[in-house]
Amino acid sequence: QVQLVESGGGLVQAGGSLRLSCVVSGRTFSAYAMGWFRQAPGKAREFIAAISWSGTNTYYADSVKGRFTISRHNAKNTVYLQMNSLKPEDTALYYCAAAGGGSYHLGLGYDYWGQGTQVTVSS
């Protein structure tokens, strides 16, 4: 089994920054592409970013492109989401997920999920 634990969420003012972390255990981290998703109250889960196994390729939803950066450190079994220029509409529960293959860059094929970390952006 693969376990994912997110951290780094919190309350921040609009225009501020946060960095989310997700530590993965249980299997070889480098065997998985990784993604970040979010879900706001009353809304569907949204795919926001993905990174390839090696970290060479990254993908972003239009809603966060230019503001968020996904990265990974395979030796630390950790994936990060640097979030800058935060907006109130970024408020959501943020999840990391691991994909063994498939169309991970489209937000598909994710087999394992964390419990989420709350991000709240005040105006």
pLDDT tens by residue, 68-83? 999 999 999 999 999 9
Tens-digit pLDDT profile for residues 36-67: 999 999 999 999 999 999 999 999 999 999 99
Q: How far apart are CA 41 and CA 27, in angstroms?
A: 32
End-to-end CA distance of the chain: 40
| Beta carbons of 54 and 29 less than 8 angstroms apart | no
> What is the predicted pLDDT for the residue at 1?
83
Residue 101 has pLDDT above 80, yes or no: no
On average, the pLDDT of the chain sits at 95
Closest C-alpha to 97, from 12, 39, 56, 17: 39
Q: What whole-number percentage of the chain has pLDDT above 90?
A: 91
Q: What whole-number percentage of the chain has pLDDT above 70?
A: 100
35: β partners: 50, 97
Cα angle: 60, vertex 17, 66; to 5 degrees: 30
> What is the predicted pLDDT for the residue at 76?
95
* Confidence label for 100 from pLDDT (cuts 50, 70 and 90): confident
> What is the predicted pLDDT for the residue at 114?
97
